[in-house]
Chain A
Amino acid sequence: MNLGLLTGIETEYGLFVEGRTPTDQVEDAAEFVRSHLGPSFVGWNYDHESPRNDLRGFKLERLSVDPEDWKFESGSRVRQSDAAVRSDRVMHNGGRYYNDHGHPEYATPECLDTADLVCHDLAGHATLRHCATQFTERTGRRCKVYKNNTDFHGASYGTHESYLVPRAVGFEALYAAVMPMLVARTILCGAGKACAESGEPCDFQLSQRADFFMESANAETLYRRPIFNTRDEPHADPRKWMRLHVISGDANMNPNATARKVSLMHIALRLAEAGHAPRWPLADPVRAIRQISRDTTRKFETPEGVSAYAILDSYLEAAVQHLDLCSRGREALDEIARVMNWVRSLDDQAIGAVDWVAKEYLLRAFSGDLDGRAVDLAYCDLDRDEGLYYGLAAAGMVPDLDDLVELTEAPPTRAAWRALALERWPEAVRAVTWSSLTLAVGSGEIEVALPPDIAAPPNPESILSVEDFITELERCNA
């Protein structure tokens, strides 16, 4: 589906290194990222980043840290420069790969098309697998990489979605349109989790992240996490754009679930922009998402008795009525409705479409034989020979698209400009951000803007020099 919303996904992967502890993890993750042998650029420019700005018009003095996690930080034995710790790489497909708080993090390039975005998310799998092999060869330490969001001991790490939205939509309309969707989409996009890490104990729940939400909306990401993150860091002209930074979603193994969670957000955002988003004021979204996540009755109702099915149905109906959908957009809506019916009717076909249903199936199958959390981890194991998701794929029960991914081609967005410069003139690239490139020209340097609505270079083969590149970029920006 392509509703014209520039979108990216950043996934912090779980990294288990045999014989090591969380105190070692920042060092290990940095070494892990540096194990990447493919083409990449080192030189990310952090000057434009502003994680303390809030969409509601103020700036936080500081972001909270997890006091338990800080104990690991203060016990760390190795002191490295910030750059060495981050080990930031810009990939030649326009994406980014770095160490974030002890997690290898893969950020896709910005995509307009959902299918492109899923391919780039899968390219992250390949990158992490490659690094796991290299890391073991370099260090002699066996490691495991998990695409999940919890360690079952109270530590969580995110899979974030970024959606560029016109600033004119406004915070209030954005919040009203998005919050019900963030809560309700859990029933179709949750990755599933054995156990609970806060609140009422349970054996199984739909969401990896629901236990970690403490507030409806704030700008935090590490502690007192919100369902609706208000960080205002658009990576674009802030007068025209804001970026909705969604931190409440789960990491999905099933690529169709990844596509679904993004398509649902695109629908909510376009309806917000058009002024036709359904109205579902939720009195307590945190309680609602926790309740839906743990609902063994499968009614999936909020505390006020509204079902997630009804919420999602209303968005699909509004999309048909008010959005200009192409044939692929209508197919995406049909898929969402079909999967929702499978979930509602306990149809086994949902195993192949929804991660939490597949995980619950495995937990039932392994009942009594294994700790459910070990099964949960094995489901998210990126090792194609050992991971249970890939075992389901080998049995034809879930899709496996990992092998179909073109790893190097950038999507036809501003990422294509970034990728073109890195591929053709790597020696001239001095610094990279999401919204600009700094290039060496003659005896000086020039920073050129990459606006979010620029198309890919129309004739890249005709661009023969850095000077041509800048001229063509300025022509397209005009």
Chain B
Amino acid sequence: MPERINRPKPAEPERKLGEDEGPKNPNLQKPSLPNELLRRMKNIDPDQAKKYRQRSGQ
């Protein structure tokens, strides 16, 4: 059965401390945004992803 095949197991994701830099974004043309999206963008907490920590779920 497929699950019985022995192969190297990938590592579990590493826990990070939240201090790493954010990603570079896809190298595609930057679109212009509707005003409503720009308004919401200004309200985004730039550090939210660093502060956001969760328990492992299912």
Query: A residues engaging B (CB < 8 A)?
Result: 12, 14-16, 21-22, 25-26, 56, 66, 68-69, 72, 100-103, 144, 146, 150-158, 160, 171-172, 175, 179, 194-195, 197-199, 202-204, 211-218, 221-224, 226, 230, 247, 284, 286, 296, 360-378, 386-388, 391-392, 394-395, 397
Contacts and interface: CB of A to CB of B under 8 A. Distances in A.
B37 A203 contact: no
Contacts of B55: 22, 25-26, 69, 72, 101-103, 155, 157
Given A214-B12, A217-B2, A378-B44, A100 B29 contact: no
B41 A369 contact: yes
Given A102-B55, A157-B56, A214-B9, A365 B31 contact: yes
B23 A203 contact: yes
Contacts of A198: 10-14
A111 B46 CA distance: 40
Given A179-B2, A218-B3, A388-B40, 13 more contacts: A153-B54, A195-B23, A214-B12, A223-B12, A361-B31, A363-B25, A365-B32, A371-B21, A371-B22, A371-B46, A374-B47, A378-B44, A391-B40
A103 B25 contact: no
Chain B, interface SS category? loop
Contacts, number: 206
B54 A22 contact: yes
A154 B40 contact: no
Given A155-B55, A156-B57, A372 B13 contact: no
B24 A203 contact: yes
Contacts of B30: 364-365, 367
B44 A101 contact: no
B23 A373 contact: yes
